Chain A
Amino acid sequence: MIRVKDLAIGYGTRVLMQGLEFEVPRGDVFVILGGSGCGKSTLLRNLVGLERPLRGTIDIEGVTHFAEVGAPPRFGVMFQSGGLFGSMTLWENVALPLQTWTALEPQAIDVVVRSKLKIVGLDGYENHLPNEISGGMKKRAGIARALALDPPLLFLDEPSAGLDPISAVELDETIVTLNESLGMTTVIVTHELQSIFKIARNCIMLDREAKGIIARGDPRQLRDHSTDPRVLRFFNRQSTRSGAA
């Protein structure tokens, strides 16, 4: 479970968000919503330990200092652009965490890698390089790599942004299936709505001007019952425009 208290994030002297408070219960699919450029990726980078909070604490399963180099990762992360290693095949990308942190024999690693690729529908693409596959496939490969060590916690940055509608729907289904079958806590950052209603039970909505959370709860409830004009504007804008990242 993730517990965030009085968190302020930003770069240098520039504060993007402040006073953030939220909790993500174990097993939940939790969505962080907000317009482009409001600081969603920055929040995610703080959560996974790639940036230091300007203030406040992030507590993940009782640990507040994490992402130290030289220790096995405590969670899987898929980056906005996939973050695949361009010089490695998909197989090698997914195998790297396993080779680094497990004592599995090569044959066993092969079995695990193939199963991860199969979970995200990329079986057969083991020997493809990242530049030989489409954007949606890169994101799925990124998820496969994030899943490599079967982490209890998965962070995904804009999984469906920039994908064609069919790939986006497929990816959403993959995420829901993963959560249901593996029960891992999943934190998703996105500015797209089509997927949210399908996958999220819980969300927070960030706002650039307010520099904080302007709404929280079940996204369907928010859409149907919120009276905050900023929240309504977000939902309306999203339902009339689709797809674009």
Chain B
Amino acid sequence: MTAPAFRIDRTDRDGSVRLAFSGRFESTALAPLWSELRSEMLGSGGPFVFDLTGASAMDGGSMALLLGLKVELESARLRVEVVGATGGVSRLLAILGNAPPKPTLKGPPGRIGILDQIGQFAALIGSRFAENLTYIGDVTASAARAIVKPSTFNGRDLGRLVERTGADGLPIVLLINLLVGVTLGIQGAIQLEQYGGNIYIADLVGIVVTRSIGPLMTAIIVAGRSGAAFAAELGTMKVSEEVDAIRTIGLDPVGFLVLPRVLALCIAVPLLALFADVAGVFGGMIVGITSLDLSPDNYLDRTRIALELRHVGTGLVKSLFFGLAIAVIACRRGLATQGGAEGVGRSTTSAVVTIIFWVVVLEAIFTSLFQVFGV
């Protein structure tokens, strides 16, 4: 290390301590010496004079250390005078040293305790509930407007949205539902083989996939793909003032942004679910052929017998509502975004979590309803 380009000389005279600073001060070089100097000063009785006459330059860090010491000594009721600053040093002193720093306006963003979080959450639910009702009202109203007067509907994005949420998601929906069909097939095969009911594997896979698992898996995939995308998109538009711009043009953000997305998912999710059904049945068939000695013809014939229209139909009805819920919730979270990039992240996360929660709730509600009405 090169020798520091500065000196600090102490002279005691008439009971006062004079520190003469000379040379060029850099905080990196000053720092190692500072704690020693600081404790030495705090140990001596004042008054003090900090003489900067010889200091030709000082960086911001050195000046901060110096003034920090001054404040410390002063709070110990010792008098400190800073004299002799010239040129750049005096300008720096004027910026940092004239007035004491303002007190910190608010505490650091505290770690919120778990009880506080629960309390805040409870308080939020009430106001959120009202806001959400208003929003659902807005969506319904603009849907009604669009039906009465189709020219108010923003159709320009619809095709692109259906393509992005539907067609682009098809490969992953097919793959996952194929694997689900295989899994169901293997689990079922183990049981059915014991009773010699090999052929009923087609019933099991076909009905479970079309009534329940196919639409559910599809909804969860769409939540992760399109739900997240909608929330992030609308959230970004919110924080970059695009949503405000829509309002100042006299358009309704709900009608302009939310409605096309709702319609897109109401089209795309049932279609995807239909493909999911096919993939799931195919997955079951692979298991039937490879480990239960069934022929493809056998398997498909049995599937045709087992699968009634109502099985597929209930699944598709459910999918329609899943699509509706995904779009409505995702857009709501997007439009409620506050703050910058971090806010967008929060909205996206909360959109996906909320959607999955409600999809599962809807699944339970529909399953019991279909049960009660015997469809």
A residues whose Cβ falls under 8 Å from a Cβ of B: 45, 48-50, 67, 69-73, 75-77, 79-87, 96-97, 100-101, 145
Contact = CB atoms under 8 A, between A and B. Distances in A.
B369 interface: no
A211 to B, nearest CB: 15
A50 B248 contact: yes
Interface size band for B: 10 to 19
Nearest to B240: A81
- Could you say which of A49, A73, A75 has the most chain B C-beta atoms within 10 Å of its C-beta? A73
Contact of B241 (A75, A79, A96, A97): A79
B335 to A, nearest CB: 14
Interface of B: 157, 236-237, 240-242, 244-252
Contact of A85 (B242, B248, B252): B242
Contact of A81 (B241, B247, B250): B241
A72 B241 CA distance: 19
B247 A86 contact: no
Contacts of A145: 245, 249
Nearest to A77: B248
A71 B247 CA distance: 10
A96 B250 CA distance: 11
- Going nearest first, the 4 A-B pairs with the smallest beta carbon separation are A83-B245, A83-B241, A79-B241, A69-B252
A70 B250 contact: yes
A220 B250 CA distance: 37
A50 B249 contact: no
A45 B251 contact: no
B250 A72 contact: yes
7 contacts: A83-B244, A84-B245, A85-B246, A86-B237, A96-B251, A100-B250, A145-B249
B249 A80 contact: no
A22 B251 CA distance: 29
A78 B248 CA distance: 10
Given A79-B244, A79-B245, A100-B249, 12 more contacts: A45-B244, A49-B248, A50-B244, A69-B252, A70-B250, A72-B250, A73-B248, A79-B241, A83-B240, A85-B245, A96-B249, A100-B250
Contacts of B236: 86
B363 to A, nearest CB: 33
Contacts of A45: 244
B70 to A, nearest CB: 25
- Could you say which of A49, A50, A69, A84 has the most chain B C-beta atoms within 10 Å of its C-beta? A69
Contacts of A67: 247-248
Contacts of A85: 237, 242, 245-246
- Could you say which of A83, A84, A87, A101 has the most chain B C-beta atoms within 10 Å of its C-beta? A83
Nearest to B243: A83
- Could you say which of B237, B242, B245 has the most chain A C-beta atoms within 10 Å of its C-beta? B245
Contacts of B244: 45, 50, 77, 79, 83
A97 B242 contact: no
